[in-house]
Every structure is written in structure tokens, then in C-alpha cells.
Homo-oligomer: A and B are copies of this chain.
Amino acid sequence: MVFSVHPLKYSQCRLVNAWRQPGSSQSAEVLRKSVRAASPLTGPKVCPPALSSLSATRRGLPKEKMTENGMMSRAKVLTIDTINPTVKKVEYAVRGPIVQRAVELERELSQGMKKPFAEVIKANIGDAHAMGQQPITFFRQVLALCSYPELLSDNTFPEDAKSRACRILQSCGGHSMGAYSASQGIDSVREDVARYIERRDGGVPCDPDDIYLTTGASDGIVTMLKLLVCGEGASRTGVMISIPQYPLYSAALAELGAVQINYYLNEEKCWSLDIPELQRALDEARQYCNPRALCIINPGNPTGQVQSRKCIEDVIQFAAKERLFLMADEVYQDNVYADGCQFHSFKKVLFEMGPEYSDTVELASFHSTSKCYMGECGFRGGYMELINMDDEVKAQLTKLVSVRLCPPVPGQALMDLVVNPPQPGEPSYDNFIKERTATLSALAEKAKLTEQVLNTVQGISCNPVQGAMYSFPRITIPEKAVKEATEKGQQPDMFYCMKMLEETGICLVPGSGFGQKDGTYHFRMTILPPSDKLKILLDKVKEFHQKFTQQYS
């Protein structure tokens, strides 16, 4: 399916402005005046409220100062000094300052401002559709049918799309996606998820009652961490996360006031996860907190490594020995590219290790509609499977999620389609396979291309992108640049990425946003741009790095 908006559609879009309230902000200004004129307290030199509250801060005046209209403005209830302190601690680099600057630059370009580049390329986030990847036709047909069931009598839609839509609607209250679902998720969707997991894991059983649908994987991960956090001081819950990590983890732990325990992936061995390093991190952490959970991302984000079966088995043994709750972030389970690499789910390995483990080790596994071949981030669909979770805890979890009523139903419907796609013999099967294969093989090529080109650059070394959607190359930053960055109070790789953004329009995320060994520098770059654009992007990165290195040598 082609998403580019064709001329007819553009003309339709011009229509849109026809019925818009004429110059609402203007007329608002007029009305604002009238409102204020009507008010007894309005002095002559009134400025818009937005302005007056802004300007005080902008000019860095204490908030009790006089406002322009000559009145004492009282101090605000909620200020940076009185905000929830845990919120202040939260950081999320993937949408941090560099991305805000990228958005500014886009605006400046659209305003015709001159820049050394024609467009901003956002390679900062795993947002496949934004990079031009096309949705799976079948998925969108079913979603359209579910949104507007009148289409069920439209003969241009394939029968299998109609039957899927119909099944989904039948399990919705009033046959409408507009009804709340059960807080744990629609029953029939959880059943389909369970069947999918059983197929994926070679028949290892899955109970739909262990499935919770979520608002993207992030929601599930944060909810699980929330359950695990307790204690104070030295008995505070500690959670082990990989470094480099996906910053959702550090952000959630900061917000929950839990202790972040870093274990370092081995960059020299293709970002492998080594048990001795897990042991080191755990033993040290036990001196100042109560480590209760171990988080794994496989395939890795931002590192792109794919863990071997052996590694997963070792991790499970470690978790069992050390009594840690396992959290397996497996949202990239279809994104495996390197020869000899294969995705093994923690669930499957756990059960193949026998009941000593499969009856005891507590595991939460997370999946999402946002990655893999579908890349449907905007629908915020996802699920988690909970293995060996205590029944009373499960009851608490069900209660907790019920407060938010339910995950978005369109996202649940999409999750259902992902775990229950067209089957051989169904009308949409061939096209589905064609579209899925095209996307995944394109990603595999781009993964290889990225690694190859980056490794031709002196001062950049990039591990193979075995899976996921990112390269995380190590970059050499000259001493002079490090010095200049430090003087600016910036991380050297932030300084590097900001400079690249300003000079090339390429938006990457500095390694410091994910964590890295001290003295090493990286950036995360998605492999998602279309091949032709990716080539240009890689050449620009190469060129920039050489220029940057010269400049600071």
C-alpha cells in the first residue's frame, strides 16, 4: 500500500482550511481584550497572561516580582523547587535536547532559513513508519473494518480481513472498539497471544491468564518495575540493567526511586553478556541495596546483539541461583539479521531447562506492535507474559491496571493481528508474506551496510548489527574536542552529535544517553532510513567524522 498523499488528496487537504474558524488567534486577541476590558481589575498596561507568567521566568526575576500590570504576582504552587524530586531525576535521551534541537531545525528549514543541509534526518528513534516503512496492508484493512464496520459489506476487502475484524468486534463490548475492554486485555486477543507464544516456542504451554495486554511494551515494563519496588535505604529494591541500556529503564527506576544496578555488556565480544560481570555488579550492589530483578534486552537495544541460547541459559541459572526476578524485553524478536544468529525466547529456554527452573524462576517477557516487521509504534500495542508469578501478586497487578481501565483497543486489535496473521490458504497470505519479507530483508541489508560503511571510517568501530534496529558504533573523540565539550559542560559525545546535527542535519543519540564505559564514546543510529537515504546518511557521517577529527587534532 502506498501512503504518499496524491494530488487529489492534497486538494482535499486545501479544503480543510476552508471551514476553519477564520484567524482564531487574532479574533481571540480581540476577545481577550474585551474579556479584560470587562474585568474591573484590568489596568491599562495588561499583558497576555501567558506572556506575563513567561516573561518573569524568562528574565529570571524572582516570581514574587511585580508583573507588567503592576500587581504582586504570587509565587506559583508548582515550581522546579517544589516539583516531585523523582521526576527531576528522570532522563530520556532518545527524545532529549538533541531531538528538540532537530525539531527546531526542521521548523527553521520550513521557514526558509538557510542551513548547510536540505533536510533533517531523524535517525534517533526506532520509528519505522516515520522513516517511510509501509504498514502491512492486511493489518490496516482489518483496523479500517473494525473502525467502520459498515465496510464489512464492501467487497473490495478480502474475506480473511473481514473475518478477523468480525472476530475482534465480537469480543468488544457492543461490538465496538469504542468500548472499554477488560483491564487485562480482550480475552480472545490474550488467547491468540498464548497460541502465538506456544507456536513460537515449539509448543511450550502458555496460559492466556498469564498474558496482560499493555500500552506498548514501555507500559508493561514500568508496571512490572512498579510492583517490584519497596524498602528503604540499604534494603531499597535494586534492579540490574545492561549498560548500554534503553533509557526507559533508567527513567522508570529514577521515577520509582529504585536503585539502578549497572552491568556492562562486553563491547570487545560483540556486546556479549558475561556472567562474571553480572556477578560483579550484583555482589557490589548487595552492599547498598536489595537487588531483586534482572532486566535483559534481547535482541539488544541500542547494541543490536542477539544472545546465544547458551548465554540465555546461563542468565537463567544466574537468576535462579541469586533469586532475581527476570524481565526479558523481547520486542525485537523478529529483528534478527546476522548469519548464525537466532532468536531464543527466555520462556522457551526456561522450560527446556526443566521444572527445577520452569517451576520456580519468575519471568516477565515483553512484546510490542512497534518493532519487528510491522513497526506500528503509534498504536501503542503490546503484551507481557508472566511466568511463575505469585497468584496474590497477580491479583494486585490486575487491580493496579484496572485503575487505567484498559490499553487502547485499536492497539489490542493490532496486537491480535501480529500474533494471528494470515495463514496459508487465506486470500491475504501471499501478500502478507511478501510485505513482511520485503521489510525484514531490507532491514537485514541496511544492518550490513551500516556496519560496513561505518567500519571504513578511521576512528569509528562498529560491532555487527546482529539484530534490532540500531548500530551503536564506538567513536574516537580527539582530546581537544573532549576539552571543549567539558568546558561547555557537555558530554563529549553530546557535543559531537550536536555538531553533526548542526552541520549535516543528521539526528543521532549520544552514547552517554544509554550509558557506556567511562572514557568511551558512542552514538546510536537507527538503520531504518530507506537504503538510498541511509547511504547518503552514512557518507555524511563519515565525512563529518573526518572533518571533526581534523578540526580537533
Contact = CB atoms under 8 A, between A and B. Distances in A.
B3 A176 contact: yes
Interface stretch (A179-187, A265-273, A511-519): A179-187
Which of A19, A49, A325, A374 has the most chain B CB atoms closer than 10 A to its own CB?
A: A49
A152 B10 CA distance: 11
Interface in A377-422: 377-380, 387-393, 396, 399-400, 402-411
A300 interface: no
A119 interface: no
Contact of A353 (B34, B39, B103): B39
A77 B16 contact: no
A5 interface: yes
Given A1-B148, A28-B206, A144-B148, 20 more contacts: A4-B175, A12-B159, A19-B426, A31-B198, A39-B355, A49-B355, A57-B391, A58-B391, A76-B362, A76-B389, A76-B390, A78-B228, A83-B228, A83-B396, A85-B230, A87-B400, A92-B403, A147-B147, A176-B378, A218-B403
A388 B354 contact: no
Contacts of A8: 152-153
A504 B498 CA distance: 66
A127 B378 contact: no
Interface stretch (A66-74, A447-455, A463-471): A66-74
Q: How many copies does the complex hold?
A: 2
In this complex, the member of A3, A91, A145, A226 whose beta carbon has the largest number of chain B beta carbons within 10 angstroms is A3
A87 B29 CA distance: 47
Nearest to A225: B84
A186 to B, nearest CB: 10
Given A87-B226, A129-B178, A388-B76, A408 B405 contact: no
Nearest to A216: B405
A35 B403 contact: no
A13 B92 contact: no
Interface stretch (A132-140, A438-446, A489-497, A540-548): A132-140
Given A147-B147, A405-B216, A351 B80 contact: no
A204 B170 contact: no
A101 interface: no
B195 A410 contact: no
A423 B95 CA distance: 37
A423 B18 CA distance: 10
A84 B12 contact: no
Contacts of A377: 178-180, 405-406
A381 to B, nearest CB: 9
A145 to B, nearest CB: 8
A54 interface: yes
Taking each of A149, A167, A178, which has the highest tally of chain B beta carbons within 10 Å of its own beta carbon?
A: A178
13 contacts: A1-B149, A5-B170, A16-B163, A16-B166, A20-B195, A29-B205, A32-B204, A40-B354, A69-B355, A125-B180, A130-B174, A181-B378, A379-B408
A72 to B, nearest CB: 9
A48 B10 CA distance: 59
A49 B358 contact: yes
A149 B79 contact: no
A106 to B, nearest CB: 11
Contacts of A176: 3, 129-130, 135, 378
A180 B76 contact: no
A54 B391 contact: yes
B35 A203 contact: yes
Nearest to A357: B41
Interface string A325-368: 10000000000000000000000000111111011101000000
Given A39-B355, A230-B85, A359-B67, A13 B423 contact: no
Contact of A166 (B5, B85, B207, B425): B5
A25 interface: yes
A375 interface: yes
Contacts of A549: none
The 3 closest A-B pairs by CB, nearest first: A31-B203, A130-B173, A39-B354
